[in-house]
């Protein structure tokens, strides 16, 4: 069953917001939520250490699909109960960093799916 959440993003003058895994997802869709006027998004990915900024038009979904043998594109925090200082703690994978493409803040809907 897909997990859906809303994340508030800063305007293009603010910091990027990391969008992290909350379950072992095989696919993720990120799109501006219909509750706000579309602004477009600026997205950066971990593959190039967040060096390149990609601009996405308002209303255009960003699709992230896992690759390789298991097809997992992100894992959630593991052993959180033991705390970040524990030997077996693992932080969640970050799918991307995002912010609004304009001077107006926006909200994105993130849908993570465990099956492909």
CATH number of the domain enclosing 33? 2.60.120
Residue predicted with more confidence, 83 or 17: 17
Distance CA 80, CA 16 (A): 24
Q: How large is the average pLDDT for residues 50-76?
A: 92
Q: Which residue has the tokens 């917001």?
A: 17
Q: What is the pLDDT of residue 70?
A: 81
Q: Residues 43, 96: contact at Cβ < 8 Å?
A: yes
Eight-class DSSP state of 77 = -
Q: Which of 54, 42, 57, 59 is nearest to 109 (CA)?
A: 59
Domain residues for the domain of 73 are: 3-113
Domain count for the chain, please give it: 1
Q: Residues 21, 91: contact at Cβ < 8 Å?
A: no
Q: Residues 62, 56: contact at Cβ < 8 Å?
A: yes
Residue 28 has pLDDT above 70, yes or no: yes
């Amino acid at each position: 069953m897909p997990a859906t959440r809303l994340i508030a993003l800063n305007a293009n003058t603010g910091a990027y917001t990391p969008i992290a895994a909350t379950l072992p997802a095989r696919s993720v869709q990120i799109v501006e939520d219909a509750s706000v006027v579309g602004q477009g998004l600026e997205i950066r990915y971990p593959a190039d250490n967040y060096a390149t900024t990609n601009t996405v038009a308002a209303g255009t979904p960003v699709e992230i699909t896992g690759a390789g043998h298991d097809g997992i594109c992100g894992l959630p925090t593991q052993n959180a109960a033991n705390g970040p200082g524990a030997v077996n703690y693992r932080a969640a994978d970050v799918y991307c960093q995002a912010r609004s493409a304009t001077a107006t803040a926006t909200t994105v809907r993130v849908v993570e799916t465990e099956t492909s």
